[in-house]
């Protein structure tokens, strides 16, 4: 079912490659290298907002061995339950992403944008709120808090992602807004969206 989106996936892979390159260059300039930490970003609940990333992640998931898929799907269901339980208890959910295996992502090449860009200080020009500057992660602050901010502008990435998303939604006729975690994307029935 994913063959019909191959051109979008090619454009997305190209965008991801530019993100990765710019991130690596910026991280190198700071001397920051993520090697895992107690405040692992895979424990953070990130919401992803694009259909194109949802479909691309699911394409990677479909390529996994069937037994691995079932294990990951089961773990994703457990993650979703734990998150709801934490929220109901008034706590901030800190549950490991179901794709994390011994500190590595099973679908690393398919990981969404925020998983690629998280960690270093950044900025972007919001369409309404003007420029927003975001901090680095806890580990970045521990390693590099004395270093002067070096601009890392996410705006071009966001704009290109928005353009791809708009084209894909227009072609598919999908109007639904996406706001899902990786765990939610792994168990969501695609037919409910497409």
Does residue 193 fall inside a structural domain? no
Question: Residue 13 domain-assigned?
Answer: yes
Domain of 180, in residue numbers: 3-188
pLDDT tens sequence across 43-100: 999 999 999 999 999 999 999 999 999 999 999 999 999 999 999 999 999 999 999 9
- Residue 35 belongs to a domain: yes
Q: Give the pTM.
A: 0.94
pLDDT at residue 146 in the model: 86
Per-residue pLDDT reduced to its tens digit, 129-160: 889 999 999 899 989 988 999 999 999 999 99
DSSP class per residue in 54-123:
HHHHHHHHHTS-HHHHHHHHHHHHHHHHHHHHHHHTT-------TTEETTEETTGGG--HHHHHTTS-EE
Residue 21 forms part of a structural domain: yes
Would you state the pLDDT for residue 108?
96
């Amino acid at each position: 079912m994913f063959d019909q989106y191959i051109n979008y996936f090619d454009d997305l892979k190209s965008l991801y490659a530019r993100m990765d390159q710019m991130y690596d260059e910026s991280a190198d300039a700071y001397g920051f290298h993520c090697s895992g930490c107690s405040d692992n970003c895979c424990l953070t609940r990130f919401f992803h907002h694009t259909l194109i990333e949802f479909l691309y992640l699911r394409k990677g998931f479909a390529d996994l061995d069937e037994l691995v898929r079932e294990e990951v799907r089961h773990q994703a269901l457990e993650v979703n339950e734990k998150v709801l339980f934490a929220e109901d208890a008034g706590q901030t959910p800190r549950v490991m992403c179901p794709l994390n295996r011994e500190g590595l992502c099973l679908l690393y090449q398919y990981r969404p944008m925020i998983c690629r860009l998280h960690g270093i200080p950044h900025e972007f020009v919001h369409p309404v709120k003007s420029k927003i500057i975001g901090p680095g992660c806890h580990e970045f602050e521990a390693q590099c808090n004395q270093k002067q901010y070096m601009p890392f502008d996410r705006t071009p990435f966001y704009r290109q992602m928005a353009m791809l998303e708009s084209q894909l939604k227009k072609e598919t006729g999908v109007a639904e807004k996406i706001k899902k975690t990786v765990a939610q994307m792994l168990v969501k029935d695609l037919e409910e969206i497409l």
